[in-house]
Structure 1
């Protein structure tokens, strides 16, 4: 997709403050520090649309961005960071679940996993919850530039087996080399703008 515009719209903690437009939405979710913001920025050819940080747990709100005035990207808080207080974790969990459960214009959840790490218990629970709620998922494996191609193929198969997903449905991606960007956009466009 050719990007003509990408704008931050607002941050919110609850449905009362979500944008009230009816644009199709793609939500991005994953463990803290998995490369979520870098993925969003690469997809829209911007360096700082979604704020990146070396500090895990930085995203603590639901952040909305409008792309080409045609669809929205939604950056959800990362999960699984140990140094965050339990009360904050509970709040994040409620915020994310509230968004995913109640958002009628949600078309796709991009679930982001670090290709170098085995999926966590939180990853497993979220993937199962999305399936149970019939929410379409695209699994993206980030940081592929950090390992060799053969290591990547092995990791992809292992992660696929772990999640019960055919390995060729896992989308490898590198923010550094931008590889995988077009394939991810293909999945997003199919979900948001299905043909007749």
Structure 2
């Protein structure tokens, strides 16, 4: 008579699965539309770190946001540059938890937009950039073939006080694939001199150049070590800003 097979007293325990580490690119991919606002007071008050994307029309801002988030149509690229006149907010974070927000601001400097509309939006943007309490960083798009223009310099003057107080700042040189390596190096050197201590990154949506680096930087901005002081917002601008016009 054959004996029955031995049955172990207890099965070996398996270790609980370790959650996959969150990568900056994986985190960026969680971006989803949050809200849109035509006026500053329409934006919800938030204490979540917020990063604003700004730049001249046709600088590649929408393409940059869509590339970073790996979503083709998250940021709307208008067929008529300069006509999108809303601040669009996108939430970041998994499982319904928002741990950061991206703010897509209207492009500036497009000649076809009426002057009164330009002035109104310059006022809204300037007040947003100097007084938005949870603003953690600003990302400026720049086509390196043209460099920073007078319009960009005006915006830099608007945000300079907050940058000096600790607001993070990055210049992204878009469309870097259209430059030779020597031209890229020259554009980097010039932009670093103009960035006032901020970071500068080359970026190409086509070649995916700089995508990981920018995502990592934005992750670091919004997940700082505890105890670091946040920059204080300034008072809203009452006087009409200098026209961001060509």
With normalisation by structure 1, the TM-score equals 0.91
Aligned to 1:122: 151
Cα offsets for 1:172-191 (capped at 9, x unmatched): 00111221112112221222
Q: For structure 2, which runs of at least 5 residues remain unmatched after alignment?
A: 1-23, 227-246
> 2: CA distance between counterparts of 1:174 and 1:127?
23
Q: State the shift of 1:166 in Å.
A: 6.9
**How many Å separate the matches in 1 of 2:145 and 2:35?**
32
Q: What pairs with 1:169-188 in structure 2 (closer than 5 Å)?
A: 169-188=199-218
**Structure 2: distance between partners of 1:22 and 1:118:** 34
Q: List per-residue Cα deviations over 1:87-121 (Å, max 9, x = no partner).
A: 01001101101211221110000011111112111
1:74 corresponds to which residue? Answer: 103
Shift of 1:80: 1.1
Q: CA deviation at 1:14?
A: 2.1
Paired with 1:82 and 1:110, the residues of 2 have a C-alpha distance of: 23
* SS, match of residue 35 in structure 2: strand
Report the counterpart of residue 23 of structure 1 in structure 2: 48
Residue number in structure 1 paired with 2:37 = 12
Report if the CA contact (8 A) 2:173-2:203 is conserved. Answer: yes
Q: C-alpha displacement at 1:165, in angstroms?
A: 4.7
2: CA distance between counterparts of 1:46 and 1:164? 29
1:33, 1:54 within 8 Å by CA — same for their partners in 2?
Answer: no
User: For 2:52, what is the secondary structure of its paired residue?
Assistant: strand
2:118 pairs with 1:89: yes
Q: Any idea what SS the aligned residue of 1:116 has?
A: coil
Give the one of 164, 178, 181 matched to 1:149. 181
Structure 1 residue 16: Cα displacement? 2.4
Whether 1:43 and 2:72 are equivalent positions in the alignment is: no
Q: Is the 8 A contact 1:25 1:105 kept in 2?
A: yes
1:110 equivalent in alignment to 2:135: no
Report the Cα distance in structure 2 between the residues aligned to 1:111 and 1:55, rounded to whole angstroms. Answer: 20
Question: Bigger CA drift: 116-125 or 130-139?
Answer: 130-139
Report if aligned partners of 1:115, 1:144 keep a CA contact under 8 Å in 2.
yes
> For structure 1, which runs of at least 5 residues remain unmatched after alignment?
none
1:5 and 1:71 map into 2 onto residues whose CA distance is 11
In 1, the alpha carbon distance for the partners of 2:209 and 2:84 equals 25
Higher helix share: 1
Task: Compare the two structures and name the one with the higher strand fraction.
Answer: 1
What's the TM-score once normalised by structure 2's chain length?
A: 0.73
SS state at 2:158 partner: helix
Q: Name the CA distance, whole Å, in 2 between partners of 1:166 and 1:55.
A: 34
Change (3 A) 1:108 1:42: same
Q: How many residues align?
A: 194
C-alpha contact (below 8 Å) 1:130/1:137 kept by paired residues = no
Task: Provide the C-alpha distance between the structure 1 equivalents of 2:78 and 2:206, rounded to a whole number of angstroms.
Answer: 15
Contact 1:63 1:74 in 2 (8 A): yes
